[in-house]
Structure 1
């Protein structure tokens, strides 16, 4: 009985008080992916999937055939995709200019022969976001590119 009496007199800090009163913020999903509207020279607007977990930029062969700006460099890499399947890229294309809003970015793509979702054919890696100095609001699901003026 003495222990029970002691518990009644225990002061609660803000954390425990919030737990008891159910004032904790509710969990939200992890928006690790964003859609970015981008343009190429010979192609109308398309959506690119900016995936924070992706380490390379992927472009399907069908899209590369449409814009066909540069020669492909052969590659011997193998890719393990999210579904654990293995893909053998056709090549790598360097210094492709991608327009996002009013910004132009030079980036490299690994060209793969796969059936891409026609609504979102490109996959951009996290380094693309770093190049564009992207600010990511995870709660709102917004992506903002920042223009930095150099002297």
Structure 2
């Protein structure tokens, strides 16, 4: 075994060092993150069988591909995120949505073949109904340097729809989100750290 000394070469050695262990096991070895993740997993809302979930007008417009050219607000709150190896540049943050949604096309790009059945109906703003393909549980959503677990309903949305992922109240609550409409800012918090997104400017770190 090579002896590691306190030198610049040793530091370069550690920077190149990779540990191939399951993500869950790595979190267990970091007590603070493990405790935080465990609390999030146990507090996530579950859906009842045959439940009907009412969606907002904007969420419905995206699903039905009827988004108008101009909305009442100057901009929607959208953030970039990474799920697995897929980067989503414009994930819609919707406080009016009681669930998180992902398009079926996005799920296929992630090469996920099986999802948990979801026996519920989604009621759109025009009172029509759509039925989800299923639900993906405990997906890890990376936003900047933060990672949050989330359940996402999978729905067959047209590929050219504006947003392939909608992050509703469950995700925003998990991420400790604070929305300032006047400033056009969305703040996400993890422990004592925070990250600010501005709909008018590029992402900034306080």
* Secondary structure in 2 matching 1:52: coil
Q: How far does residue 148 in structure 1 lie from its aligned partner after superposition?
A: 0.9
Cα gap change, 1:34 to 1:45, in 2 (>3 Å): same
Q: 1:44 to 1:108 in 2, by over 3 A?
A: same
The offset of 1:142, in angstroms, is 0.5
Instruction: Name the structure with the higher helix share.
Output: 2
SS of the residue corresponding to residue 146 of structure 1 reads strand
Are 1:58 and 2:101 counterparts? yes
Q: Which has the larger radius of gyration?
A: 1
Higher relative contact order (CA 8 A, sep 6+): 1
Q: Relative to 1, partners in 2 of residues 1:59 and 1:139: Cα closer, same or farther, differing over 3 Å?
A: same
Structure 2 counterpart of 1:101: 144
Unaligned residue ranges in structure 1 (runs of 5+): 1-28
Shift of 1:75: 1.8
Which structure: greater strand fraction? 1
- What's the TM-score, normalizing by structure 2? 0.53
Aligned to 1:35: 78
Return the match for 1:147 from 172, 179, 190.
Answer: 190
Matched, 1:88 2:126: no
CA deviation after TM superposition for structure 1 residue 147, in Å: 2.4
Alpha-carbon distance between aligned partners in 1 of 2:187 and 2:75, rounded to the nearest angstrom = 15
SS of structure 2 residue aligned to 1:78? strand
Q: Select which of 64, 75, 87 maps to 1:44.
A: 87
Show the counterpart of 1:125.
168
**Superposition deviation, residue 120 in structure 1:** 2.1
Question: For residues 118 and 42 of structure 1, do their structure 2 counterparts lie closer, same or farther at Cα, with a shift above 3 Å needed?
Answer: farther
Question: Are the aligned partners of 2:131 and 2:155 in contact in 1 as well (CA < 8 Å)?
Answer: yes
1:71 equivalent among 108, 114, 123 = 114
Deviation at 1:84, TM superposition (A): 2.5
Question: Structure 1-normalised TM-score?
Answer: 0.71
Contact 1:63 1:121 in 2 (8 A): yes
Distance, in Å, in 1 between the alignment partners of 2:162 and 2:76 is: 15
